[in-house]
Amino acid sequence: MRGTNQPPPEGRHPFPHAHLLAIAGLQPWEIGFLLDEAETWVAPPDARPRRDPRLAGMAVVSAFFEASTRTALSFEMAAKRLGANVIAMQPGTSSLTKGETLLDTALTLGAMRPDVIVIRHGASGAPKLISEKVGCPVLNAGDGSHEHPTQALLDALTIRRRKGRIEGLTIAICGDILHSRVARSNFACLTAMGAHVRVVAPPTLMPADIDRLGVEPFPTMEAGLEGADVIMMLRLQRERMEGAYVPSAREYFRFYGLTPARVELAAPDALILHPGPMNRGVEIASSVADDIGRSAITQQVEMGVAVRMACLDVLTRRARGIEGWE
């Protein structure tokens, strides 16, 4: 799959950024470069995962101020496969529970001089604030309803590996669009790579400014899934909801759940994705999620480790004195 993306213009660095805070603002060739780098870390089927101690001696701080299983473990696995030392910051026992501000936490982290900080936070913009106060790369592992850049990259890598391309595909992203940082990062990533992105959600979960995000909104699953090459389902993010956005989980599944009948509306070889965690019977039927012919949900998890290895490698090249990254 390497070499299928637009190369950087002559004289332009493939990835000049010190941090990875968002997909929005990245050039198509910069996204493609990260996908190509991640491709090198994907192990062949039935082979042991690739390991390389290029980050040996480096300290990666994992600061997850929101609950996480997949993303936190994926970053930790990625860092350890690269030989780094991982220091997990536990929010429940941190000074934030004693009244310390995020700014003071940022200054404290910076004073410890880590080599990389991976942060997930409930406040949009928190990783950017951290990046302005520390002297090392910062990776955004999800901030509020803003962005989740490595999730979008792993989704794009999964699609590219299964479909052979992203450009020209019709991709339907369905569910709780309003609260989803995964959706926002995917809008930026997939449209930059030439896909046509549809969004499907009830009116209460569709952002008011959706028309400005480069995607096409649909009010029903039947209309939005027609002929789609890829279906990406999103979970209902009840932890971000204040008030009733849907009548009930049962009613939501009735109108917006991905069922076998609705899958048949898409292209015959439509690919099914879900960033997890899944609410079976709420946004997706178990028979659909477990369909080994169509579902790439477990492959997304595998691609997540490869993507995060690539990001950790690329963002530390300057500190490691790699030629061309000074």
In terms of pLDDT, which residue wins out, 240 or 248? 248
> Would you call the peptide bond into 277 cis, given omega within 30 degrees of 0 as the criterion?
yes
pLDDT at residue number 102: 82
pLDDT at residue number 249: 82
pLDDT at residue number 95: 53
pLDDT at residue number 225: 98
Residue 312 pLDDT more than 90?
yes
Q: State how far the Cα of 154 lies from the Cα of 315, in Å rounded to an integer.
A: 17
Q: pLDDT band at residue 108, thresholds of 50, 70 and 90?
A: confident
Location of each CATH 3.40.50.1370 domain in the chain: 28-147+304-315, 149-301
* 127-151 tens-digit pLDDT: 999 999 999 999 999 999 999 999 9
Q: State how far the Cα of 323 lies from the Cα of 262, in Å rounded to an integer.
A: 51
In terms of pLDDT, which residue wins out, 277 or 116? 116
Nearest partner of 182 among 146, 138, 228, judged by Cα: 146
Q: State how far the Cα of 55 lies from the Cα of 71, in Å rounded to an integer.
A: 20
Question: Which residues face 138 on adjacent strands?
Answer: 117
**In the chain, pLDDT over 90 holds for what percent of residues?**
76
In terms of pLDDT, which residue wins out, 198 or 239? 198
Query: Which has the minimum average pLDDT: 41-45, 187-191, 259-263?
Result: 41-45
Q: Where are the beta strands (DSSP E) in the chain?
A: 59-64, 85-89, 116-121, 138-143, 170-174, 196-200, 216-218, 230-233, 271-273
Q: State how far the Cα of 233 lies from the Cα of 55, in Å rounded to an integer.
A: 35
In terms of pLDDT, which residue wins out, 167 or 90? 167
Per-residue pLDDT averaged across 257-272, rounded? 97
* 155-187 tens-digit pLDDT: 999 999 999 999 999 999 999 999 999 999 999
How far is CA 157 from its chain centroid?
11
Residue 308 pLDDT more than 90?
yes
In words, the CATH class of domain 149-301 is: alpha beta
Q: pLDDT band at residue 97, thresholds of 50, 70 and 90?
A: low
Tell me the angle at which helices 149-163 and 181-192 cross, rounded to the nearest 10 degrees. 50
Nearest partner of 155 among 288, 306, 24, 33, judged by Cα: 306
Note the pTM of the prediction, 2 decimals: 0.94
**In the chain, pLDDT over 70 holds for what percent of residues?**
92
Which of helix, strand or coil describes residue 34? helix
Radius of gyration of the chain (CA): 20
Query: Which has the minimum average pLDDT: 11-15, 78-82, 265-269, 307-311?
Result: 11-15
**Residue pair 40/303 in contact by the 8 Å Cβ criterion:** no
pLDDT at residue number 241: 42
Q: pLDDT band at residue 1, thresholds of 50, 70 and 90?
A: very low
Give the N- to C-terminal CA distance of the chain in Å, as an integer: 28
**Residue pair 282/236 in contact by the 8 Å Cβ criterion:** yes
| CATH assignment of 28-147+304-315, among 3.40.50.1370, 3.40.50.300, 1.10.10.60, 3.20.20.80 | 3.40.50.1370
